[in-house]
Amino acid sequence: MIKTADRLNKISEYYFSKKLKEIDDLNKEGKNVINLGIGSPDQPPHPDVIKTLQDESAKPGNHSYQSYRGSPVLRNAMSAWYKKWYNVDLDPETELLPLIGSKEGTVHICMTYLNPGDKVLVPNPGYPAYRSAVYLTGADCIDYNLTEENNWFPDFELLESTDLTGVKMMWINYPQMPTGQLPTKELFEKIIAFGMKHKILICSDNPYSFILNDIPLSILSVEGAKETAIELNSLSKSHNMAGWRVGLLAGKAQYVNDVLRFKSNMDSGMFLPVQLAAAKALSLPAEWYAEVNKVYLSRREKVFELLAGLNCSFSKFQAGMFIWAKLDDKETDCYSYVDKILNSASVFITPGGIFGSAGNRYIRISLCSPIEKIDEAIKRIGGLK
C-alpha cells in the first residue's frame, strides 16, 4: 500500500462525513433518523436567483472557463453588498476575490501564508476546519479558549501573557459558531489592535451575520483593519445557497493577490451562470432576509422547547442557524449523550466536543429542519423518560 503524506497525520475524516454515513446505515434499517445536526438551509434561494441561473445557463456562450478573479458583475455586487450592509468600502477590482465556497478559502489562506513550524491562534470552541487547514500546512495550532463567563470573547489579558513567538495568524468567527455569540464593534477594535501590535494576520470568518441578527458587522469596518485583517464571507447561509458554493475573500489588494497566487493553481473559476445568479442574490432587499429569519424564529422557539425537555441551559440571544446548549450537570460526555439520543430516539444532534475541548459539556442543534420534524423529535426524546 502507498503511504499517505505526513500532512494528513494530524487530521481525520470530517466528523459529519463519518456521522452521515452512520445515519444513512440506520435509515436503511428503517430507523427514519431526524437530523438536527447539520447546518444546511432547507429553504430555497429567492426565485429570481434560480431564474437567473436557468436563463444564463441556457446561453451558449456562458459555458467556458472563467476569469480567475471572478466575473466583474459578481465582484461589483459583492462590493455594493458590503457597502450597503456593513458600511465597508471595497474596490471590486482589487479587494475582492470570489471563492468556490468560503471553506476553500480557509485552506487557501493557510496554504498561502503558513510554513511548517509557524503558529496559529484558533478558537476553542470553534469551526473544526480552521484547525485542519492549519495542520495541512505543517503549522501548529495554539488554542485560545472561549468561555461562557466571558461571553465567548477572547481573553485578551490571557493572550497577552501567552508566548506569541512564531504566531503568524489568528482565526476568529463572529457571529461565533458554534456558540451563536454576536460581536461588538469594541470587540473587533480590540482584535485589530491585538493583530497590529503583534503583527498577526487576523482571519475573520463571517458567514452567519444575517441569520437572526438585525445588525450585520464586518471586522473590516474598524479603522485600519485592512492592514492586518482579511475576511471570508459566504452566500451559503445568508441566501440559502449552501450547495451552490459561492463565497468571497475581502481585504486589501496585496492580501487578495497573495491568495490568488495559490488559488489560481487549484481551480479554473466558477461557472458563470452561478456567479451571475449570486450577483442577483446579493441585490435582494431587506425583506428577503426578514422572511428567511421569520422561519428561523419560529423554529428556534421549538428548539428551546426541545432543549428545556433535555434539562439543558442556553442563551435565548444567539445568532446563526444553531442553538448552543449546556448539558445537565449529571451528563459528563457529549459524545455518549448524543449517541444515546441517536440510538434510542433516532434523533441526531451535534456533540459540542467536535468544536474543541471547551465544547465537551455542550450540544448544538440546527434550525434547518421544519417545525413538524422538531415536534416529532420532541415526542421521541420525551418518550425516553
CATH number at residue 361: 3.90.1150.10
Of 251, 282, 313, which marks where a domain is finished? Answer: 282
Instruction: Provide the β-strand partners of residue 124.
Output: 145
Question: For the chain, how far is it from start to end, CA to CA, in angstroms?
Answer: 49
| DSSP letter, residue 125 | S
Domain tally for the chain?
A: 2
Q: Is residue 56 part of a domain?
A: no
Q: Is residue 57 part of a domain?
A: no
Nearest-CA neighbor of 237 among 173, 308, 148, 151?
Answer: 173
Of 252, 267, 282, which marks where a domain is finished? Answer: 282
Nearest-CA neighbor of 95 among 66, 120, 75?
Answer: 75
Nearest-CA neighbor of 267 among 131, 104, 122?
Answer: 104
The Cα–Cα gap between 276 and 49 comes to 9
Q: Would you give per-residue pLDDT tens digits along the chain (385 residues)? A: 898 888 888 887 777 778 888 888 988 999 999 999 988 999 999 999 999 999 999 999 999 999 999 999 999 999 999 999 999 999 999 999 999 999 999 999 999 999 999 999 999 999 999 999 999 999 999 999 999 999 999 999 999 999 999 999 999 999 999 999 999 999 999 999 999 999 999 999 999 999 999 999 999 999 999 999 999 999 999 999 999 999 999 999 999 999 999 999 999 899 999 999 999 999 999 999 999 999 999 999 999 999 999 999 999 999 999 999 999 988 889 999 999 999 999 999 999 999 999 999 999 999 999 999 999 999 998 866 5
State pLDDT tens for residues 331-342: 889 999 999 999
State pLDDT tens for residues 61-120: 999 999 999 999 999 999 999 999 999 999 999 999 999 999 999 999 999 999 999 999
Instruction: Provide the β-strand partners of residue 60.
Output: none
- Before 125, cis peptide (omega within 30)? yes
273/314 same-domain check? no
Q: Is residue 167 part of a domain?
A: yes
| DSSP letter, residue 323 | E
The Cα–Cα gap between 172 and 229 comes to 10
| DSSP letter, residue 167 | E
Residue 4, Cβ density class (10 Å: 0-12 exposed, 13-18 middle, ≥19 buried)? exposed
Q: Is residue 255 part of a domain?
A: yes
Q: Is residue 73 part of a domain?
A: yes
Question: All 3 cell numbers of residue 141?
Answer: 495550532
147/219 same-domain check? yes
296/169 same-domain check? no
Question: All 3 cell numbers of residue 236?
Answer: 451559503
Say if CB 378 and CB 51 are below 8 A apart.
Answer: no
Of 282, 308, 323, which marks where a domain is finished? Answer: 282
195/325 same-domain check? no
Q: Are strands 119-124 and 140-145 parallel, antiparallel or unpaired?
A: parallel
136/236 same-domain check? yes
172/262 same-domain check? yes
Q: Is residue 342 part of a domain?
A: yes
Instruction: Provide the β-strand partners of residue 202.
Output: 170, 229
Owning domain of residue 264: 64-282
